[in-house]
Amino acid sequence: MGWVCVPLRLILGGLFAFAAFNKLIAKGEGPATSSGPQGFAWTIKAFKLDLPDWAVLTSTFTTPWIEIIAGAMLILGIWTRGAALVIGGLLVVFIALLLSVLYRGLNVDCGCFGDMSPFCPAKVGWCHIIQNVGMLAAAIAIMATRRHALTVCKC
Amino acid sequence: MQPAGVIIPAVLIVAIGGGIGLADLAMRKDKVKLDRPEPPPLDLVLPPVKPTPAGEATNPQPASTQASPDVDVKTEATSDPAAAAAPIAESARTPPAAPTATPPAALPKGHITVPQAAALYDQQAFFVDSRRKDVYVAGHVAGAFRADMVSFKAGDPMWVRGLPKEMILVVYCDGGDCDESEHVAQLLNASGFNAVYVMHDGFPGWKDAGHPVETGEGQE
């Protein structure tokens, strides 16, 4: 099972690192962008969660940093199951947010990967729920595996 | 590995990521503005509309988008301050409009008359038919693409994604009580288009005025 999880770890960790890169470093252009901290902050605001400004700003910067560290650890095999737990927790929150957006009928961009949208249309839809549920299943599989192959450490 | 062996690393990852994130926030906080800037006003100039024999057209009225009221559409008439006040007085002197035409002064915000739409058509504006497919196939503005609300369910249609955001869009349905054009205009506006207008009298008004129409599958 440890070897079976290697591609799952690489794909899931890579996707989270890619998503975090687009939220933290990529530069968005124009008032419709979802990339970079600026675009990610606008995306959070567009979800209309009635968050205070400090909470929007904190989420804007802490979420992608947690994503990038958890993604890197998943790829490298450092605290592998802990990293999978963090990513699984983030995915549960993301799925809940997306369902809330769909329930309220908001026509907003997902911003999951900044302005990139490799698997789904830019606007939030059921495709994003399926995409995140798929990634959650991968995270659970990694978490449930006790011995992982190709890891930097046995931690 | 015990459960604590999973949870403790997870907590540490969140703590490390959160700590770096907070430090990043302290450094870059001033570079992030929480409110999206309003799109810059467009400086569009509509050519004066020639009055039709039926007296349908009056001075074109500045129109702005429904969801983006800052769009600044100017007419040549409004360049003269004295003339800027003219539309209402003009429309009061204008003979009764043709049955299908709505006088400009009575139009809701963001709506334009058929002559104004025709002027935009001549400027290569992009026409969007928001009616059902079978109705579209039976006849539509020549060159118009079709997109109803269902078309936006899975995100913007492909052709919408390929359009430059500066493009002038004119959306129409059947005129009268139909509000599909209104909804589609708002969706297009939300997609980043600043100049989205609703042709108030819809396809019947366009056709009655003798403007170009075509039938068939067209494009969607």
Q: Is A85 in Cβ contact with B10 (below 8 Å)?
A: yes
Task: Tell me the pLDDT band of A12, cut-offs 50, 70 and 90.
Answer: very high
Contacts of B163 in chain A (CB under 8 A): none
Token pair recorded at residue B138: 């039976």
Inform me whether the pLDDT recorded for A13 exceeds 90.
yes
Task: Tell me the pLDDT band of A123, cut-offs 50, 70 and 90.
Answer: confident
Per-position DSSP letters for A12-63, written without gaps between them? HHHHHHHHHHHHHTPPP-STT---HHHHHHHHHHHT-----HHHHHHHHHHH
A53 touches chain B (CB under 8 A): yes
Q: Is B33 in Cβ contact with A86 (below 8 Å)?
A: no
The end-to-end CA distance of chain A, in Å, is 17
Residue B103: what pLDDT?
Answer: 66
A76 touches chain B (CB under 8 A): no
Contact status, residue B23 vs residue A71, Cβ threshold 8 Å? no
CA B26 – CA A65 distance, rounded (Å): 14
Residue A31: what pLDDT?
Answer: 67
Q: How far is CA B178 from the centre of its chain?
A: 16
Please name the member of B1, B22, B36 whose beta carbon is closest to the beta carbon of A62. Answer: B22
Q: Is B34 in Cβ contact with A65 (below 8 Å)?
A: no
Q: By CB neighbour count within 10 A (0-12 exposed, 13-18 middle, 19+ buried), where does A141 fall?
A: middle
Closest by alpha carbon to A57, among A41, A46, A68, A42?
Answer: A41
By C-alpha distance, the chain B residue nearest A87 is: B10
Q: Is A73 in Cβ contact with B1 (below 8 Å)?
A: no
CA B166 – CA A122 distance, rounded (Å): 20
Higher pLDDT, B38 or A101: A101
In this predicted model, what pLDDT tens digit does every residue of B144-165 receive, in sequence order?
998 887 778 767 787 888 888 8
Q: Is B9 in Cβ contact with A83 (below 8 Å)?
A: yes
pTM of the model: 0.58
Compute how many other C-beta atoms are within 10 angstroms of the C-beta atom of residue B80: 10
In this predicted model, what pLDDT tens digit does every residue of A27-74 receive, in sequence order?
877 666 888 999 999 999 989 899 999 999 999 999 999 999 999 999
Residues 6+ apart with CB under 8 A from A139: A12, A84, A85, A87, A88, A91
Q: What are phi and psi of B43, to 5 degrees?
A: -105, 75
Higher pLDDT, A27 or A130: A130
User: By percentage, how much of chain A surpasses pLDDT 70?
Assistant: 97
In this predicted model, what pLDDT tens digit does every residue of B26-69 receive, in sequence order?
999 888 988 876 544 434 444 444 444 444 433 333 333 343 33
3-state percent breakdown (helix, strand, coil) of chain A, nearest 5: 65, 5, 30
Inform me whether the pLDDT recorded for A22 exceeds 90.
yes
Q: How does pLDDT run along chain B (220 residues), one tens digit per residue?
A: 567 789 999 999 999 999 999 999 999 988 898 887 654 443 444 444 444 444 443 333 333 334 333 334 444 333 333 333 333 333 333 333 344 566 666 777 788 999 999 999 988 899 999 988 888 889 999 999 988 877 787 677 878 888 888 889 999 998 877 778 888 888 888 888 888 999 999 999 999 999 999 998 877 6
Helix axis angle, A126-144 to A80-103, nearest 10°: 160
